[in-house]
Structures are given as structure tokens and as C-alpha cells.
Amino acid sequence: MSDPDGTAGEDAPALTIDADRFRRSFEAYSEIGATENDGLHRLALSDADATARDRFVDDLQALDLAVTIDEMGNVFGRREGTDPDADPVLIGSHLDSQPRGGRYDGQLGVLVALETLRALDDHGIETTRPVEIVNWTNEEGSRFENPMLGSGVFTDNVDLEEAYDLRDGDGVRFVDELERIGYRGETSCEPRSIHAFLELHVEQGPTLEERGTPVGIVEGVFGMAWLEATIEGRADHAGPTPMHARSDALAAAAAAIDEIEALPGRLSEDAVATVGRLDVEPNSVNVIPSRAEFTIDVRSYDDATVEAAIDRASAEVEAASDRVGADASVSELWRIPHTEFSSRVCDAAATAAEAVDADAERVVSGAGHDAKYLNDVTDAAMLFVPSADGITHNEAEFTPWDDCVAGARTFAEATRRLAA
């Protein structure tokens, strides 16, 4: 391997991980919140999340890392470098899961980062820069409906007090749960100087598998928006109310959802639109629904396409509601433009993949990740490993173990290079 710039770190042999230890860790963490179908049910700030966090802190302390917990519950472990003034390389992902989700989403990225730190210790490698590992709080946004919450506050994208005030479906406040599980730390959650952020994650789509490539180097993330549509009709008895006399909120919602599903195909090659949540009132078999509330998730790498999808989806909700004489409103819950990741970090990952002899190619992410927010305050990028059949947010989520190892080797070596 030649290195014209001649830094010692880049000349060194690629960092070797212990694939067996990595697998044992993965199996052990997967038992925390395990479902009977080999999935994970480890919602943010639940008891299972607390157990996983406790184990994570134990593992960091076993490596003699300096552990800090910030006021959002983000957990950091710092391994010092030789230069006391150098900004750290930050690596990690999240330990929370979707409801009855998979074992790879989030957790794999944290454990790849943990294995990287263990491997640095194995070989007694001193890096110039500190390396910090992180577990971000509430990445999923399924319990507290604002995804990437811990990294959102860390990067000033989300206000701390707003995050604290979020409530789950049972009305429980985020900050109260954070306190309850003992992870409301003292350290301020705010931007600080970081040299680079690298996150490994499962792709959650079919592209890498279709192409037969074990490692994706993620150059950017789709722009995305979450809308909430509310349709207010009128409850009436399902028997004696003729069809013409109805104002059926669910009938309007169904018509709108049917149109929204067809929108992406009319807008662009990459656009997607999803109605994931729908709640009906009073939700009784023989009562015409008075109210339907549903979310619309729209995404594309092109921000103008997202804008157009928002406009057209809103228009479909209005039109369908008008037809049955119902009132409609559509509000924006959340929206972010597309992201272009750091070419410096992507290049380091590509070089690392070559060094460890892993097949890799450049891809774009349809999913939001903590790295998306981190890119606002530092140079960030991601590595993907394939998701079998593109299945994710599902107990059947699966990545072949060889691909996990290829990703971990690339990740460890990229981290070493970024910190060298």
C-alpha cells in the first residue's frame, strides 16, 4: 500500500476486528427487549431501553472510557488521543427500536463502533485524535413522535424544552421517562467541535442486496416531510342514514389515501409516500366515523419533489373531504431538506473499504439517520450494509453476518484513518 502523504496512521496495516466477539456482543444485546420472533421491541426510554443502556455503559467502563451522559440521555464514551487539543472522531448510532422491529436497525451501528474501540485496544493503537462512541436517544421517533431526537438537540435542530415536553401515546412526558430510567444527565446537550462523525446502519431498502454489494458508502439522504391530516365528518348510525346524507370521515380518508399512494409514481423516480398511522373515531362497527386522523410521510432526494408531494397530498385530502362535506386540515409535523454528506468522510470510508478488501459502492439513503443531523455541525457520512429483501422495521429484518463483518471491518479501518 503506498501513501504519498506519508502519515504514519495511513501507512499502518488495516485495523483487525474480532468477528467472534462482535457476534457475541450482537447476540447478547439482541436479548434485551427480544420478541418471540427474533425481533426487538425496545422503545425509547422503556425498561428494555434502560437495560440496554446500562449494559452499554458497563461495556464502555470495561474499556476504561470516560463516560458522560448529557441532558438528553445521549451516552458518550471517550478514548483519548495523543493530541490533547485535537477534535474527536465521533462514531455510533442508536439502541432504541421500532415497536416489534428488527435487531439490526441502530443496534448494529452502536456495536460496530464498540467493536472498533475494542479492536483499537487489542492492538494497542494510539490515535492522534480522541475517538468517541455515542448512543443517541430516541432515534426512531415511534414512541415520542420526533425522530432523531437526541442528535436533533445535540445539533441545535430541536429545542431541548420541546423535546422534554413530547408525550407518548399514553400521555407520558419524555423528560419524566428520561428521569425515571436514570438517564437525564448533567452535561449540556449542544454542538461542540467534532472532527468527523461516522455511522454504520442497515440499508433498510433492497438496493445493495439487488446489486450484490456488501457495503454502501452513503453520500446523502433524501429530503423528507411528515404531515398530519385530520378529517372531521359527522357520526351517524350506519343503518338508517342514507349514503347521500353522510359525512363519513373514513370514507374521505380512504379516498385520499388511495390517491396519495399513487402520487410518487406521478412525481419522480425516487419519490415515496406512506400513510403509516391512521386513527378513526369513534371506531365502532355501526357508527359512521366522525373523525379520521392520519400521517403522510413523503421523501425524495430532490427537495422540490418533496414540496410538490406535500402540495398534492394536501390537495387530495381537501378534495376527498369536500366531496363528503367534511372539514379537513393538513399540518406539517416535521420536515428536513436533502443532505449531502462530507466527501472527505466518504472518501476515507472508500479507502478503508479498499484496504480491508470489501466490495463497496456509493448510494443515497431514503431514511433519516442521526448522521443527517450531525452533518450540520461536522463532516459526517455513513456506511450501509444490506437488508435482506429490503425488510426493516419488522421482526424479520436480517443482514447476512458476512456483510455485517465486512461493514464492521470497513468501519473500524475508516475510524482509525479519520483519527490517525
Three-state secondary structure string covering the chain: CCCCCCCHHHHCCCCCCCHHHHHHHHHHHHCCCECCCCCECCCCCCHHHHHHHHHHHHHHHHCCCEEEEECCCCEEEEECCCCCCCCCEEEEEECCCCCCECCCCCHHHHHHHHHHHHHHHHCCCCCCCCEEEEEECCCCCCCCCCCCHHHHHHCCCCCHHHHHHCECCCCCEHHHHHHHCCCCCCECCCCCCCCEEEEEEECCCCHHHHHCCCEEEEEEECEEEEEEEEEECECCECCCCCHHHCECHHHHHHHHHHHHHHHHHHHCCCCEEECCCEEEECCCCCECCCEEEEEEEEEECCHHHHHHHHHHHHHHHHHHHHHCCCEEEEEEEEEECCEECCHHHHHHHHHHHHHCCCCEEEEEECCCCHHHHHCCCCCEEEEEECCHHHCCCCCCCCCCHHHHHHHHHHHHHHHHHHHC
Indicate whether 233 belongs to the interface with a second copy (CB under 8 A): no
| Interface with a second copy (CB under 8 A), residue from 235, 303, 319, 351 | 235
CB of 318 to a second copy, least distance (A): 16
Which residue from 253, 308, 326, 350 is in contact with a second copy, where contact means CB under 8 A?
A: 253
Q: Which stretch binds a second copy (CB under 8 A): 15-23, 44-52, 302-310, 392-400?
A: 392-400
For position 268 contacting a second copy by CB under 8 A, the verdict is no
Is 314 among the residues that bind a second copy (CB under 8 A)? no
Q: Is 335 in the site for a second copy (CB under 8 A)?
A: no
Residue 212 found at the interface with a second copy (CB under 8 A) = no
337 in contact with a second copy (CB under 8 A) = no
Distance of alpha carbon 412 from alpha carbon 405, whole angstroms: 10
Rule CB under 8 A: say whether 339 interacts with a second copy: no
Stretch that binds a second copy, among 3-11, 56-64, 113-121, 239-247 (CB under 8 A): 239-247
Q: Is 340 in the site for a second copy (CB under 8 A)?
A: no
Pick the closer one to a second copy by CB: 14 or 333. Answer: 333
Is 289 among the residues that bind a second copy (CB under 8 A)?
A: yes
Q: Is there binding between residue 158 and a second copy (CB under 8 A)?
A: no
Tell me how far, at minimum, the Cβ of 334 lies from a second copy, in Å. 9
Report the residue number, 224 or 418, with the smaller CB distance to a second copy: 224
User: Closest CB to a second copy among 70 and 177?
Assistant: 177
Interface of this chain with a second copy, residues 293 to 312, rule: CB under 8 A:
295, 297, 299
Question: By CB under 8 A, is residue 193 in contact with a second copy?
Answer: no
Considering the rule CB under 8 A, would residue 204 count as an interface residue with a second copy?
yes
- Using CB under 8 A as the binding rule, whether residue 112 contacts a second copy is answered as no
Q: Which of 77, 109, 214, 366 binds a second copy (CB under 8 A)?
A: 366
CB of 32 to a second copy, least distance (A): 20
CA distance 225 to 277: 15
Residue among 209, 233, 189, 234 nearest 363 (CA): 209
Least spacing, CB of residue 108 vs a second copy, in Å = 14
341 binds a second copy (CB under 8 A): no
Note the residues at the interface with a second copy (CB under 8 A): 98-100, 141-142, 145, 147, 203-207, 222, 224, 226, 234-243, 245, 248, 250-251, 253-255, 257-258, 261, 264-265, 272-280, 282-290, 295, 297, 299, 333, 365-368, 387, 390-394
